[in-house]
Amino acid sequence: MTYLANALALLIQFAFGCAVALFVFRLLAEAVRADFYNPICQFLYRATNPILTPIRRVIPTWRRTNLAALLIAWILEVIKNFLLRFVAGDFWASNGGTLVLGVADLLNFFLIVYLIMIFAWTLLSYVNIDARNPLVPLLGKIVEPALKPFRKVLPLIGGFDLSPVLAILVILLLQVVVVAWLLNTGHTI
């Protein structure tokens, strides 16, 4: 690709990454029943409601999972992959492959988000944090359910919680095995 195509690809990835982040965080906030009055949640709801409200009439929430937000995030990933393939000059790319790449990219996005949030939550547990910061309770509300199964396997050792290490290891393994397989499948279809 040329320098201009690389710059355009970067802009596409940034714009679609921001849009996907809004819907993924909305999905996570609803899944853990985060405080609706949290300013961050208010921002997420206001930013995504114009798109999600009409779609939620057709696609309802299922077991605390906002399927409409998940669908929009996946559609955005698919559109991003179509645009990136177009910019790269891959006009004859398979539509099925692009759909699989959308799943792979969305799963990878979820895993990266959880990796960063678990790492941040672990760091925040070692420092004195301001509990009035709206990010702290939201981060805890999202991360704690993900760490709970790992705490059953790996209890506190000498006052240290090593469950985040195990959770991060599982996330990295999922990226290496599942996401890599999906990406390979998407590129070969």
Average pLDDT, the chain: 92
Query: What whole-number distance in Å separates Cα of residue 77 and Cα of residue 17?
Result: 8
The predicted-structure confidence for 32-66, as pLDDT tens digits, reads as follows 999 989 999 999 999 999 999 999 999 988 888 89
Q: Which residues of 70-107 are buried (b: 16+ CB within 10 A; e: fewer)?
A: bebbbebbbebbbbbbebeeeeebeeebbbbbbbbbbb
The segments of the chain whose pLDDT lies below 50 read: none
Domain count, the chain: 1
Q: Amino acid identity, residue 5?
A: A
Is the full-model pTM beyond 0.85? yes
Domain that holds residue 118: 3-188
Closest CA to 41 of 135, 123, 111: 135
Res 29: pLDDT: 95
